[in-house]
Amino acid sequence: MLPPPNFQLFIAKSAPEFQDFLSDKGDADKENVYFYQIVNNTEKKYRTLLLTDNSKNKDYAEVVTESAIFLYTGKTETLYLKNKAKTYKIEFLGYIGKCGYAYFQEMYIDGVKNNDFILIK
């Protein structure tokens, strides 16, 4: 059995918007940065991590939610990413195939197609 897929987006550390993901102390903003969905008119928050030094590409930080199997339904699912300045709307299409493999099909962020998972370049 495969573990549930994670969902991550990448943020260029050199982009001015990267600061919106950091606390006033300059570390990951654990209070204001999170993924959520709207379920029954209520924010359903997901455990969210901001990895600033763990990325394979040191020029990018990763914002991650674990166990994102809820996105792989075979229909477009809407997920939001909030930080202290903005909320991003993510429309994600993927499915779980045979043997439990997760397959990504397409994604739009704020209405713009984005298949490279880079939120901010």
Overall average pLDDT of the 29-55 stretch: 92
Where is pLDDT greater, at 25 or 54? 25
- DSSP letters spanning the chain: -PPPPPEEEEEETTSGGGGGGB-TTSSB-TTT-EEEEEETTEEEEE-EEEESS-SSSTTEEEEEES--GGG-BSS-EEEEEE-SS-EEEEEEEEEE-GGG-EEEEEEEETTEE--S-EEE-
Average pLDDT, the chain: 93
pLDDT-derived band at 54, boundaries 50, 70, 90: low
Per-residue pLDDT at 17 exceeds 80: yes
State the pLDDT at residue 75.
98
Q: Which residue has the tokens 């987006």?
A: 9
State the pLDDT at residue 2.
65
Q: What is the pLDDT of residues 55-96, one digit of tens each?
A: 577 899 999 998 899 999 999 999 999 999 999 999 999 999
Q: What is the pLDDT of residues 104-120, one digit of tens each?
A: 999 999 999 999 999 99
CB 18 within 8 A of CB 61: yes
Share of residues in the chain with pLDDT > 70 (%): 95
Interacting residues of 26 by C-beta distance below 8 A, sequence separation 6+: none
